[in-house]
Amino acid sequence: MTGATTASEVRLIALIAEAARGPERDGLFALWLVLRAAEGLLPPTPVSSRNHRRRLQALQSRLATLALPAPLQRALAAARQHRRSSARSPPPERTSSLRRLRLRRWCCPSLWRPPGRCWGRKRARLSPLRRGRPAYIYSPVTTRRLAKPASLESIVERVDQQRPGEITGDTIPTGFPSVDKLLGAGVRRRDLIVLGGDIGAGKSALALGVALRVAQQGLGVAYLSGEMDEERLMERALAIEGRVMVDELRSARLNEQARASIGGAAVRLRGLPLAVLPLAAPDLETAVERLDVLRQLAVVVVDYLQLVPAPAGRPPQTQDEDTALVLRRLKALALERQVALLVVAQLPRFDAARANPRPNLDDFGHLGAIKQHADVALTLFREEMYNPGGGVDGATELIVAKNRNGPTGFVDLYFYRRWMRFEDMLDPDR
């Protein structure tokens, strides 16, 4: 450290020497650095008003780049106010309205630009007010710094405390490594994720697979189904986890290995925080109220969008208008409940006979509501459905058609149709 110049700095250096290593000493040292920077920019010798304002603005810009705690920010604000009030510069000259009009005649439209720097057509004409005092003035510059939002403070604090590669609390891994890698470690709370695909592509199977893998991480999941009740969904979950066919479960034609696999899958599913709820209801509010009894939800799955009832008190409209309104309400639900909302959707504008049958955002239809309101839009494409024998059976592309906070692209999955099970093709986990 260099020698102190003021009594306050002497006291601050003494406090730094007495403090133990840790956040307190680091904070005191940062305060000393800031004071040295302020002294360098704002010397005690009198300067002109113009240079003084420039130094204040330079200090503001330098301090704005520092993530300082609130007490230190208040101390710096008080120091800047003290410097500003103690500056030995004459107050800015005030002019009357008549004088301003005369200035405008002899200068450019800006009232505060000096005649020597006027860029207008009358630059060569000199003002009669030029004699004696300058005929121009500069308005006093008052730089106000708005208070930093609380959310910004929390983000900075979280980044400082987070280890590299660590998953934050608002990020929920889907359980598919390739999908998580493309989506930045997983889906996020308060996001609306829409999953679309052709009929029979496996939308519900993938949504249930994601729900199971999230629940196996100990995170709460609610599955709102408009096609199957709880028993049918648990039957499909047993088939997915036990790697058996649903028909074999129905007819009980299981060998010893399959029975052991089903028993192990039942044990794993028994204690999962997974709640299956019906989607059928008189209105959307009634269906959403069923989530009130559940606590600590991370993901809500809605299967599927076209079966979600319309909000209460709304006269019947066209299906596209009702679905667009429902989608906006679902986005509000994700924000209100602080959950990642996964919505399965049909593709009413999908044309399988076109040259490239891969689904896109326009296939969702519904007045473009999904393109506008969804944070992430996913589509499923299985080539074997459109070109039998021309591709690998079970090969599936999960296309990220929209990603509000990240890149788009696709990942390769494999679909075991007899088990209704999706697995990561490039990075299988189990």
Per-residue pLDDT tens for 220-229?
999 999 889 8
Could you tell me if 175 and 281 lie in one domain?
yes
Q: Give the domain-ending residue among 74, 106, 130.
A: 130
Residue 98 has pLDDT above 60, yes or no: no
In a domain, 2, yes or no: no
pLDDT value, residue 65: 61
Domain that holds residue 27: 7-90
Tally of domains in the chain: 3
pTM: 0.64
pLDDT value, residue 131: 46
Could you tell me if 293 and 383 lie in one domain?
yes
Confidence band (pLDDT; 50, 70, 90) for 123?
very low
- The two tokens of residue 276 are 């299956």
Could you tell me if 104 and 224 lie in one domain?
no
Q: What percent of the chain has pLDDT over 70?
A: 65
Residue 102 has pLDDT above 50, yes or no: no
In a domain, 390, yes or no: yes
In a domain, 119, yes or no: yes
**Residue type, position 328, single letter:** R
Could you tell me if 64 and 119 lie in one domain?
no
pLDDT value, residue 113: 47
pLDDT value, residue 164: 74
Per-residue pLDDT tens for 18-56?
776 666 666 766 676 666 666 655 555 665 666 666 766
**27-45 as b/e: b if 16+ CB within 10 A:** bbbebbebbeebeebbeee
Could you tell me if 63 and 109 lie in one domain?
no
Residue 288 has pLDDT above 80, yes or no: yes
pLDDT value, residue 222: 95
Could you tell me if 247 and 199 lie in one domain?
yes
More confidently predicted of 173 and 149: 173
Quote the mean pLDDT of the chain.
78
Could you tell me if 78 and 105 lie in one domain?
no
Could you tell me if 194 and 337 lie in one domain?
yes
CA-to-CA separations, 336 to 329, 377, 404, in angstroms, rounded: 10, 20, 19
More confidently predicted of 154 and 374: 374
Could you tell me if 317 and 281 lie in one domain?
yes
Beta bridge partners of residue 297, listed in sequence order: 220
Per-residue pLDDT tens for 141-160?
444 555 556 677 777 777 77
Q: Give the domain-ending residue among 90, 111, 138.
A: 90
Strand 340-345 and strand 192-197: the pairing is: parallel
Could you tell me if 409 and 301 lie in one domain?
yes
Could you tell me if 126 and 242 lie in one domain?
no
Q: Give the domain-ending residue among 90, 117, 149.
A: 90
CA-to-CA separations, 161 to 66, 155, 304, in angstroms, rounded: 17, 10, 39
Q: SS3 of 394, please?
A: coil
pLDDT value, residue 398: 95
Could you tell me if 410 and 394 lie in one domain?
yes
Residue 133 has pLDDT above 80, yes or no: no
